Structure 1
Amino acid sequence: MSSLKNFLKKKKYTKTPLTLTATNHFEITAKLNNITGRFILDTGASNTCVGFDKIDFFNLTPKASKIKAAGAGATNMETLISTKNKIEILDWKMNKLKLVLFDLQHVNEALTSHNALPVDGIIGADVLKKAKAIIDYDKKCVYLKQKA
């Protein structure tokens, strides 16, 4: 029987390592608009998000939004959106990514209170679905499908 890694390699997937944090979250490194950042991989987040404090860092162009964010113990949070962004996770790339921008301070306070490092944002289900992501929890990696 072929290993998952070999099977997915034949199907044009690339393997990306994940880091398990002290809070039991998977963290991933990605480039957003050609700038490297640290992100939580969150299958429960519907959208990929970046903190308000990282707007300039990632060269984002924020626009008004009526969307209210909720998660990690906070609800009804004000958001902005940023469109036409580029994300790269190793060899996997996506252009025209829409990001939700909101205050990630409560997320980073929770991480740092458990001796984990703060993050720049969250990779959500929008990107994971587009990449046809397959998470290997045992091997601490995610496989992303390359475009044909």
Structure 2
Amino acid sequence: MRTKIPIDIIELESSNYHLILPSQFDGNETAYWVVDTGASKSVFDINLAEFILSEQEGSEDLHAANMSEEPLKTSLGSLKPLFFGKLKVDNMKVALMDMNHINELYQKVSDYKICGLLGSDFLLKYNAVIDYKRRVLKLSDQKSGY
């Protein structure tokens, strides 16, 4: 199945653009993601516990560019089912971390409350194509080979 999801492009600072993608959890609660092509792993806000299906014991080091030289300690988790357009994603694996600092940054220029960052793990799995001209993200659940 292929689906197109509208994206919003916001300018956090002069010539510093970020792509915002909506999703829906059960109950049609909209959750907003930042599309982060430079992130290797998708991240979700640990403060949104109502959407986390399970959390694994232990932690993982997550290297975050431009945030710190030291890796961030995160835990791993799986999310409750959610939809990106028509595409249903079950048990999405994510790193869990407190995203309050990210939301403080976004609230300065937008009304979006960010639930997470979509990293390359997700983008590769769903063959993501960003169409800047049409402002859509195209996803497919066809096997990508990665």
TM-score with structure 2 setting the length: 0.78
Q: Which residue is equivalent to 2:51? A: 58
**Partners of 1:47 and 1:125 within 8 A in 2:** yes
Question: Aligned letter for 2:38?
Answer: G
Q: Which residue is equivalent to 2:4? A: 15
Distance 1:58 1:52 in 2: 9
Deviations 1:40-91 (A, max 9, x none): 111111111111211x231332222232342452442220111365342011
**Partners of 1:85 and 1:98 within 8 A in 2:** no
1:121 is the counterpart of 2:116: yes
Superposition pairs for residues 1-148 of structure 1, below 5 Å? Answer: 13-23=2-12, 24-32=17-25, 35-54=29-48, 56-63=49-56, 64-74=58-68, 75-83=70-78, 85-115=80-110, 117-147=112-142
Asked which structure has the greater CA Rg, the reply is 1
**Partners of 1:69 and 1:79 within 8 A in 2:** no
Gaps of 5+ in 1: 1-11
Structure 1's 72 and 86: CA in aligned 2 closer, same or farther, altered over 3 A? farther
Structure 1's 57 and 72: CA in aligned 2 closer, same or farther, altered over 3 A? farther
> How far did 1:146 drift?
4.1
Aligned residues: percent identity? 24
> How far did 1:32 drift?
4.5
> How far did 1:117 drift?
2.7
How many pairs does the alignment contain? 136
Distance 1:88 1:49 in 2: 16
Question: Aligned letter for 1:108?
Answer: N
> How far did 1:124 drift?
1.4
TM-score with structure 1 setting the length: 0.77
